[in-house]
Amino acid sequence: MGRFNIFYMAGTYDMTKVEKSPAKRLPQYGGAFTACLSGLAFGTILAWTSPAGPLLEDGSAGFPVSTYEVSVIGSLMPIGGAISSVPTGFLTDRFGRRTVLLSIVPILLVGWGLIIWATSVEMMFVGRFITGMCGGSICVTAPVFTTEIAQKEIRGELASYFQLLLSAGIVLAFVAGSQLNVFYLSIVCAVVPIIFGVTFFFFPETPVYYLNRGRRESAIKSLKFYRGKDYDFQEELSELEESSSERSNAQESKWDVFTSKHGKKAFYLSILLMTFQQFCGINACTFYSTTIFQSAGSSLEPRYATVIVGVMQLAGAIVAMLLVDRLGRVILLGTSAAAMAISSFLIGGYFFIKEYNLMDATALSWLPLVGECVFVVMFSVGYGPVPWAIMPEINPSRIVGIVQSVACVVNWVCAFLVTKFFPELVEVIGAGLTFFIFALIGTITTVFSFKAVPETNGKSLEEIQSLMSR
């Protein structure tokens, strides 16, 4: 515990003499932001292939890379992410959220190092697989850490940092890739995890993790760090002890927790949130963005079009951060899904008219561009960040790492399926009908969001547990 002494001098706690004081929020903002710098690193991992692919085919790497090999480089990232997600959940629950996040840094640097100094395409394959594994681990761990250090009043805002910085990482990679070659683009991406590791090192583990491991004194120290030394932590500590299941369910195994009414309900909701997040069509919409811009008569180069899409995602994430604790999770989810459904319908309608020559579509050339912009922004307002915020809230703390890992695997698999089969579906039935399918899924997602997802805004973890057990 000595590494935390630069922020807080450990001592003996006399709870009867603690002067009541409002909790400080700056340490919580700092902890959440630095933890979610891992999301910035993940964003660069996600986006790297888009600018790097054409550069690799043009010989930027210094050795020949075929179109097929570029596709393999791209696909190895989600495969690595899916493989690492499940063990990360167990490691997070066993060794701690902070420890796992920090251990990702050297592994990620090895991956980027293989890409930066690659002398063959095989080295890039291995490097891309390793960075993908690190990305999967980040998805599992960072949202849990952020949720567990936050007060209920700002928990949604802090949880939205993950999507915000992920979007910023995508923009960073797109901008760097539009100006630099693969070597320097990869160096820029490799610098991000270094910044994350150096800044995050000085923040302690979450109090929830310590309570789950039976380390009450460590939990108190963590609470005092994130709330301030004069904060009266007794009430919050009591609530955290209840929600951790450490006192009331000490003899209950993780399997018992998982198969309880609360555990099963939270698990199914988590899986559905991840499934709808991908099947709403965000990756397809992003994948088709160049064609949509061209259909709208835009003369922008594809590399600049992708930058615009990335900036729109970032703008939406900023809006989500400002609204999630004011409007609530359900409103943002439902509104986001409805807007994406309408956008998909508009994009699909334009392409359907054009493909079947129902009328002159020239006058409607603005429609796909507007639909694309609305879709991307509204995804980032709701279904981008909110599922990551809700999952750690609704799941029992003793199994949240495991559930988060399984949900991440589902997310990776769904993303792969959409990305893989979207072009083939467009070729077989046309872009119009394909986007109509996404509109239908968006409609179903809207109903699911308003009817099945519980509102967790402003509730303590204990209150959420009670809500989920009904």
Q: Report angle CA 464, 465, 469 to the nearest 5 degrees.
A: 115
Upper half-sphere CA count for residue 162 (Cβ side, 13 Å): 25
Is residue 192's pLDDT more than 80?
yes
Element holding 426 (H helix, E strand): helix 400-429
Judge contact between 326 and 457, C-beta under 8 A: no
> How many CB atoms neighbour CB 255 within 10 A?
10
* Model pLDDT, residue 300: 67
Helix residue ranges, H only, 150-233: 155-159, 161-179, 182-200, 207-212, 216-227
- Cα 89 to chain centroid distance, Å, stands at 15
* Model pLDDT, residue 22: 75
Q: Tens digit of pLDDT for each residue in 414-430?
A: 888 887 788 788 888 98
- Structure-block tokens of residue 345: 């319908």
Q: Indicate if 253-470 has the same CATH topology as 23-203.
A: yes
Fold of 253-470: Growth Hormone; Chain: A; (1.20.1250)
Query: Residue 5: which pLDDT band, with cuts at 50, 70 and 90?
Result: very low
Q: Considering only CA atoms, which of 151, 156, 137 is closest in space to residue 196?
A: 137
Query: Residue 4: which pLDDT band, with cuts at 50, 70 and 90?
Result: very low
- Cα 378 to chain centroid distance, Å, stands at 15
Q: Tens digit of pLDDT for each residue in 144-178?
A: 899 888 888 888 888 888 988 998 998 899 889 88
- Structure-block tokens of residue 108: 């990620």
User: How many residues are given for the chain?
Assistant: 470
Q: Considering only CA atoms, which of 447, 443, 463, 446 is closest in space to residue 455?
A: 463
Rounded to two decimals, what is the model's pTM? 0.79
Pick among 1.20.1250.20, 1.10.287.890, 1.25.50.10, 3.20.20.10: CATH of 23-203: 1.20.1250.20
Domain edges within the chain: 23-203, 253-470
In this prediction, residues 201-228 reach a mean pLDDT of: 89
**27, amino acid identity:** P
Average pLDDT, the chain: 83
Q: Lowest mean pLDDT: which of 175-189, 405-419, 437-451?
A: 405-419
Is residue 76's pLDDT more than 70?
yes
Q: Considering only CA atoms, which of 284, 111, 94 is closest in space to residue 192?
A: 111
**198, amino acid identity:** V
Q: Considering only CA atoms, which of 412, 414, 388 is closest in space to residue 317?
A: 388
Q: Tens digit of pLDDT for each residue in 277-308?
A: 999 988 777 766 766 776 666 666 766 777 88
Upper half-sphere CA count for residue 289 (Cβ side, 13 Å): 25
In this prediction, residues 395-407 reach a mean pLDDT of: 80
- What is the rounded distance in angstroms from the CA atom of residue 470 to the CA atom of residue 466? 7
* Model pLDDT, residue 253: 66
* Model pLDDT, residue 295: 67
- Cα 256 to chain centroid distance, Å, stands at 28
- What is the rounded distance in angstroms from the CA atom of residue 313 to the CA atom of residue 367? 19
Sorted by sequence, the CB contacts under 8 Å of residue 357 that are 6+ apart come out as none
Better pLDDT: 224 or 6: 224
In this prediction, residues 181-207 reach a mean pLDDT of: 94
